[in-house]
Amino acid sequence: MKKALITLIPFLSACAGEAPTDIGVQGGRLTPCPDSPNCVSSFESDETHGIEPLQADLAQIREVLLTLEQANIVSEQDDYLYAEFTSRIMGYVDDVEFLHDSGSGVTHVRSASRVGQSDLGANRNRIENIRSELIRD
């Protein structure tokens, strides 16, 4: 049994993928989604990647993230928050960014998988779940 667990450790850690180096705010916007369907962003307009921004500020979003077991806030600045979400079973890590636009009163969002081609809607569902929690509060 121990040998089986030891054999699985490298596989499970590979699910996390490498932390991205190309995310963050660039020219007042979040990084565009890749062509793969495992990313959503409020800066995208196509059906696969586009999603509405959140009607909340970063303090409200932070409060919701603190209640989510899979969320880990990595960094936070005045108008930007970056969190990692780790899936329970396989340990996949998704990178989620929030950029508050005080002029419009909305917070733009980008949620992307580190590995794989399809996420089976996980990133879109995550943002919509956060949106639902914001509405409930």
d(CA 25, CA 79): 10
> Helix 122-136 crosses helix 58-67 at what angle (to 10 degrees)?
110
Which pLDDT score is estimated for 130? 98
Helix, strand, coil content of the chain in percent (nearest 5) = 30, 30, 45
Q: Are 42 and 104 in contact (CB under 8 A)?
A: no
Class of domain 40-136: alpha beta
Beta bridge partners of 75: 82
Per-residue model confidence as pLDDT tens digits over 49-107: 999 999 999 999 999 999 999 999 999 999 999 999 999 888 999 999 999 999 999 99
Number of H helices, E strands in the chain: 3, 7
Q: What is the pTM of this model?
A: 0.86
d(CA 64, CA 134): 7
